[in-house]
Structure 1
């Protein structure tokens, strides 16, 4: 039976990928299909899903910038959106019931549904941002910050709804910060193999169990211990080590959603009605972010990423059924709405950059006049070469070219913290998102002869190449690739050179060592030569 689950999940994920959709869409459909076929879930799927969410929140913490949470647009945007959303849905629901007296309903029921759907899905948003390599972009930081604030509200709701207050020992949780030096030492002694992965599991699950033991949401504990590890020397390596395993466990989460509900035909009218509120959710986030003087692109991409319903809505609906606020049929409807919203969100976000490029002349009309002043771009003055991405490949390329071209080599880095650190080290770095068409349109590239894309995501490099072709840039484009099929895609799209570092690192290694094969020169030979 386990093989059947794996085979069906793979088949649906594979088909979704061939259609240009994220594999998670296929996993969702696989869960509903298996449920509809009457196949019972295998033992442990719930635990597998919970482990995936715990690891996901831990990895979020590893990448989370605490300063983001203190920004007004993050906590203010999350709070204002939740309040306005609930008011609009309750008011709209009351008007709908008044127009159709045959429908049953009251404001408490409407408020419970509105609150359940006010949250955005942490799992879905993280997946689409990861797949697009946009976790550390401005809009990625904003979306994740809003999700964290929503998680905090979720904890407060569970405390109020269940009447289960945290233990008095929860007051000692801030003391965990003093364990950070021990974690640093522990990680540094674990090497680079399976022991590092195992200690990552231990820290993530330890945080979950510790918070759960003092009656605080365990997932919040995984997030917080991840934040404690963030910034340590091994944090980035630990993040990369856990990524594949986390994604594998999350397959169980998406499959499990299909077993949360099996709808009947008479429910689909309500499902369609609730899904019709997704554009409202997007527009509300977009308007609020613009109100906080963010750029139109940042507001658009963040709002589009957050335009889905959260799996937490199922927990709220379950509490509503227990409290008598909602009938059991509402639980099924909300489960189906949440699942379909994942599909819709994944579909549109995959096309987010092309949509923005097509309609930016309209979207930018709503931008606050101060947005460009507050979030403007630096200029790489005198640059003839721009290196996008300052990871190991980008830094290596910078050092090699800077020795010959000096101030004519500049870098573009999307991570604000990393960019600031590299500027302090004396690198010629500008902060910017190379995937942002506004960035290229406002950048002076008249003297730039070569743009090098040292970015791990092929999708992001493809977006950048397309955007460069729509700007005034007439120079050459060089990229990197891991696989030969990726190399062919980039060349077909317009890249002039694609360096396949898996295939060509051997040639570089041989060239670096070639001098070792030259016979040593003796003293007598030196005398003859002179």
Structure 2
């Protein structure tokens, strides 16, 4: 193996090992994997094991951000983007303008920067890290939440703003006025080139991509589909870069055009693995780029500057989101998610240095500052994520008091008015039965007026609420809540305080059914049992079985299932609180199979072999 090949092999081995180590360690400590990637990047960078050139690594790692934006675009639809335009050009523009102005003022009056250097610094630090923010929001599953959508809108505006901002830097350089006067058409030509690149991507995406993937799908070559997906992403990104625009924005546009394609799920599956690895590489490259020598020499100033950047940026984002009526806890999550500087900073600062806007020491300090915000952001997000529920409880609207149940005179008390409870109530109301319904979901109560019955607000796990709702007078109490712990709590309360009440309870699964039967409920039913039996019956009829015969077969299955449940109760499964002696309730066939299971691949063979050994 040649020297360069050996170095490449060692670098690849180091990156893969770092990725494998970073995730479980970060998770174990309660942090985002992003934090782990950044820290191991420092460890394998020039100040650590020095396994690779950070500049080369960052060039490759940018493809992770490109993949991320493409996959986000493919999940959206053009109509969705249009519906978000108010957030993109409202929240996004407000955040960028206010934060840039504050950072620029701080640089001029606090650090003595010139106006051009202050503007460039303010812009670079105001733009957030798209990859970091989306990774953090995605890990919480909040990208679809209102604050997640608005955060994405801000990030999308920032990506679109990259184009004019890149054009702005040369105009701010010393002597740029004369150059601009000598060549006034340069900006116009660049704008036309950008428009042409967008037009090519739109035409290709609308008319050529689907036929291309259709031909490849007919060939049955999955590797060709993967290659084509990579070609689309990298082709769109490269074309936009050639036109002087953001690669990530080009990839996002390509993904957006493919969002309604019949092949989008196949494309997502083929690219998702590349995205994860390349993003990990990107975060590690950020850690590698951190110059610890500069940090060590100016540690005090950099820490103060990091706190200032994080504080100012968080306050601005928080204020913008609160102005848009986002709850305080979610506004704070958005604020810290958008705190880290973006990958654009590592492009803009060297460009400003090359054009003479920044001096060498200034550029080094600003790059170190941007990297420190990238490390601080995920740590703050993890902290705020833990505190968010408490903040939401303190700052959210006060929980309403239980309703006055004076007029509650139903003969049946229904607790829980979700999907299950609504159907139960409909059956009772259709028969003319008087029903009292209680629920603790305010939104559910507000939207339930169309049922023509008053739904009382109250917590069904409280004895005083149950008594006020008439639990001691009703003929039947129907527990229809969707949380088995709440259901068990209600049953325990009723059995101990209102022992004469008849309890009909919704069970979550087989184990929950057994728990309820031991508690002595009058009737329980698994929430999926009857729907699955009805589904099976209709399937038998579709296969030609006569309706009476199908009904008889389903009745037989129902009886055998009930007998097995009784047998499991008698055997004492889950009858003890000792965790070490509990037996797992395994699914068992009600009808003995005519043939043994046959594996269709080696993986299935291995599973069946281990299952046989275990059961034997």
How does the TM-score come out when normalised to structure 1? 0.66
Equivalent of 2:208 in 182, 197, 216? 182
Equivalent of 1:137 in 138, 145, 160? 145
Larger of the two Rg values belongs to structure: 2
C-alpha displacement of 1:29 = 1.4
Runs of 5+ consecutive residues of structure 1 not aligned to the other structure? 98-103, 366-379, 387-401, 409-436, 454-464, 480-495, 498-503, 518-530
C-alpha displacement of 1:41 = 0.9
2:103 is equivalent to residue 89 of structure 1: yes
- The answer for the alignment partner of 1:33 in structure 2 is 43
Closer/same/farther in 2, CA of residues 381 and 16 from structure 1, 3 Å limit: closer
For 2:368 and 2:479, locate their aligned partners in 1 and report how far apart those are by CA, in whole Å.
Answer: 51
C-alpha displacement of 1:384 = 4.7
- The answer for the alignment partner of 1:253 in structure 2 is 282
2:11 is equivalent to residue 4 of structure 1: no
For 1:358 and 1:13, locate their aligned partners in 2 and report how far apart those are by CA, in whole Å.
Answer: 27
For 2:507 and 2:207, locate their aligned partners in 1 and report how far apart those are by CA, in whole Å.
Answer: 44
SS at match of 1:117: helix
State how 1:411-422 maps to structure 2 within 5 Å: none
Q: Is residue 58–residue 286 contact of structure 2 (8 Å, CA) maintained in 1?
A: no
Q: Is residue 73–residue 292 contact of structure 1 (8 Å, CA) maintained in 2?
A: no
**Cα deviation 1:393-452 (Å, max 9, x = unaligned):** xxxxxxxxx9x97979xxxxxxxxxxxxxxxxxxxxxxxxxxxx9979999786873438
- The answer for the alignment partner of 1:225 in structure 2 is 254
Equivalent of 1:383 in 418, 429, 434? 418
- The answer for the alignment partner of 2:120 in structure 1 is 112
**Cα deviation 1:268-301 (Å, max 9, x = unaligned):** 2232122112122112111112223334454333
C-alpha displacement of 1:338 = 2.7
- The answer for the alignment partner of 1:154 in structure 2 is 162
Closer/same/farther in 2, CA of residues 169 and 357 from structure 1, 3 Å limit: closer
SS at match of 2:289: coil
Q: Is residue 170–residue 211 contact of structure 1 (8 Å, CA) maintained in 2?
A: yes
Closer/same/farther in 2, CA of residues 353 and 169 from structure 1, 3 Å limit: closer
- The answer for the alignment partner of 1:60 in structure 2 is 72
For 1:55 and 1:202, locate their aligned partners in 2 and report how far apart those are by CA, in whole Å.
Answer: 12
SS at match of 2:482: strand
2:365 is equivalent to residue 333 of structure 1: yes
For 1:477 and 1:151, locate their aligned partners in 2 and report how far apart those are by CA, in whole Å.
Answer: 49
Q: Which one scores higher on RCO, CA 8 angstroms, separation ≥ 6?
A: 1
Equivalent of 2:195 in 168, 171, 176? 171
Closer/same/farther in 2, CA of residues 189 and 347 from structure 1, 3 Å limit: farther
How does the TM-score come out when normalised to structure 2? 0.58
Q: Is residue 28–residue 258 contact of structure 1 (8 Å, CA) maintained in 2?
A: yes
After alignment, is 138-147 or 9-18 more displaced? 9-18
Equivalent of 1:274 in 293, 305, 312? 305
Closer/same/farther in 2, CA of residues 343 and 257 from structure 1, 3 Å limit: closer
Runs of 5+ consecutive residues of structure 2 not aligned to the other structure? 1-9, 172-185, 398-414, 428-440, 448-456, 461-477, 495-504, 510-525, 528-583, 597-616
C-alpha displacement of 1:345 = 2.3
C-alpha displacement of 1:247 = 0.9
Q: Is residue 76–residue 256 contact of structure 2 (8 Å, CA) maintained in 1?
A: yes
Q: Is residue 237–residue 251 contact of structure 2 (8 Å, CA) maintained in 1?
A: yes
2:268 is equivalent to residue 243 of structure 1: no
- The answer for the alignment partner of 1:17 in structure 2 is 27
- The answer for the alignment partner of 1:425 in structure 2 is none
The count of corresponding residues between Structure 1 and Structure 2 is 412
SS at match of 1:276: helix
**Cα deviation 1:467-491 (Å, max 9, x = unaligned):** xx9xxxx998969xxxxxxxxxxxx
- The answer for the alignment partner of 1:394 in structure 2 is none
C-alpha displacement of 1:212 = 3.0
